[in-house]
Amino acid sequence: MAKSVLVINCGSSSIKYALISERREDRIYGLAENLGSADARIKGVTVGGEPLELSIPHADHAKALETLLARLANYNPQAIGHRVVHGGNLTKAELLTPEIVKRIEAATPLAPLHNPAHLVGIEATMRLFPELPQVAVFDTAFHQTMPEYAYRYALPQNLYTEHHVRRYGFHGTSHAYVTERASELAGAKNQGGWLSAHLGNGSSTCAVWNGQSIDTSMGMTPLEGVVMGTRSGDVDPSLHLFLASNLGWDIQKIDNMLNKESGLLGLSGLSNDMRTLVDASNDGHEGATLAIEVFCYRLAKSLSALSCGLPRLDGLVFTGGIGENSAYVREKTLGYLSHFGLQFSKEKNDALPRGTEGRIDAGQGPQIWVVPTDEEGRIAKETRQVVEQTVSA
């Protein structure tokens, strides 16, 4: 695999990996899961498209990476790109140096679930492959172009100046990739105004003008914004006081409820999985029907709100497991947006094969696209760019 880049995404008990060749035509990918348990294993796909399953009992992150990297070393990766959720105020992908590692550590209070796991992966790959250039690609970086009036909360100034309390935004790699791709398909790459809806277990919306993020629905943490699989999205901030005073809940219980027991799961009382909910709704399940209604209405409301950051609306793009696969959710959401001139074609929307790229508008007004996201491909591209710039500097 010519000039491949290894992309690593370390979670708390899993590691997603992908080895991607220069032109993205070849790809080896998979997941090391259940790390730390007797059931730890690597599941993936080899270069020939064959399934791979490897048991690695009790392996931790370092051991799993060692096993993975030993298998992938034959392909001579040129560099390693790490997905890092929170980069604080870092505005672009960065070559990993002790200084950058310190800045990722410093952003840990803002992403306590994600950044520590990324740091474990970074430490392991730097130790195992000290000679390979390694790059951190941040979910937050794309949104560093937001104007101050979009990223500030209406809170006392010192919370921002002394404690970095502001809106950061996430899913930047995905919003950047799909809006670039959709605008390219529309014939004007990274030109004009685009709205993006990344809809998966985590969901967010973004407004992009000439290839730059102008505003996004997620905030200081990935809890703000639209309804998600188990996350509530926006609620009245006084809910915390209400639950503490009336139900005696502590802050940890409230946080857990908002992050893990809310969203589609909480509303439906059934599942966080959109497929299950659409099937159940078709069978008459009221909770599932309501959960889908709230999801689509709040999503349309968020897209409408973000559109005011754009001087002109040229298109809307759907992505993520739900955005790419659910014609039903797209139809329901677009039903609320016709006053913006967004006219979709029911035929094209229904006929678009799952997981493929395609245009679903009726031919007038802003274009509407479905683009499968490729966060790993984008991380590989940015990693390669950082390495090339460093070599030529």
Tokens at 337, concatenated? 């947006």
Q: Which is nearer to ligand AMP, 183 or 325 (CB)?
A: 325
What phi and psi, each to the nearest 5 degrees, are found at residue 367? -75, 155
42 among the known binding-site residues? Answer: no
Q: Which is nearer to ligand AMP, 326 or 349 (CB)?
A: 326
Asked whether 105 and 87 are in contact (CB, 8 A), the reply is no
Contacts of 149 (CB under 8 A, 6+ apart): none
Tokens at 201, concatenated? 């277990």
Least gap, CB of 335 to ligand AMP (angstroms): 17
320 among the known binding-site residues? Answer: no
Least gap, CB of 270 to ligand AMP (angstroms): 12
* CA gap 313, 338 in Å, rounded: 13
Nearest residue to ligand AMP, scored by beta-carbon proximity: 321
Least gap, CB of 114 to ligand AMP (angstroms): 15
* CA gap 228, 158 in Å, rounded: 31
* CA gap 339, 342 in Å, rounded: 7
233 among the known binding-site residues? Answer: no
198 among the known binding-site residues? Answer: yes
375 among the known binding-site residues? Answer: yes
Asked whether 81 and 137 are in contact (CB, 8 A), the reply is yes
Q: Which is nearer to ligand AMP, 42 or 197 (CB)?
A: 197
Q: How far is CA 385 from CA 44, 144, 379, 381, in A?
A: 27, 19, 10, 6
Mutual orientation of helices 286-307 and 274-282 as an angle, nearest 10°?
120
Q: Which is nearer to ligand AMP, 240 or 260 (CB)?
A: 260
Q: If we measure between CA atoms, which residue out of 353, 384, 387, 346 comes closest to residue 370?
A: 353
Active-site annotation, residues = 139
Least gap, CB of 116 to ligand AMP (angstroms): 21
Least gap, CB of 271 to ligand AMP (angstroms): 8
* CA gap 35, 13 in Å, rounded: 5
Give the β-pairing of 315-319 and 51-55: unpaired
Q: Which is nearer to ligand AMP, 3 or 260 (CB)?
A: 260
* CA gap 140, 168 in Å, rounded: 6
Give the β-pairing of 79-84 and 94-95: unpaired
Contacts of 26 (CB under 8 A, 6+ apart): 1, 4, 20, 47
Binding site for ligand AMP (CB under 6 A): 200-201, 229, 273-275, 278, 320-322, 325-326, 354
Local structure of residue 140 (DSSP, 8 states): T
Least gap, CB of 203 to ligand AMP (angstroms): 8
274 among the known binding-site residues? Answer: yes
Q: Which is nearer to ligand AMP, 208 or 329 (CB)?
A: 329
342-347 contacts, C-beta under 8 A, 24 or more apart: 342/313, 342/316, 342/366, 342/368, 344/368
* CA gap 193, 199 in Å, rounded: 20
* CA gap 275, 269 in Å, rounded: 15
Least gap, CB of 39 to ligand AMP (angstroms): 22
* CA gap 341, 313 in Å, rounded: 9
273 among the known binding-site residues? Answer: yes
Q: Which is nearer to ligand AMP, 190 or 201 (CB)?
A: 201
Residues making up the annotated binding site are: 9, 16, 83, 198-202, 273-275, 321-325, 375
Residues making up the annotated binding site for Mg(2+) are: 9, 375
Residues making up the annotated binding site for substrate are: 83
Residues making up the annotated binding site for ATP are: 16, 198-202, 273-275, 321-325
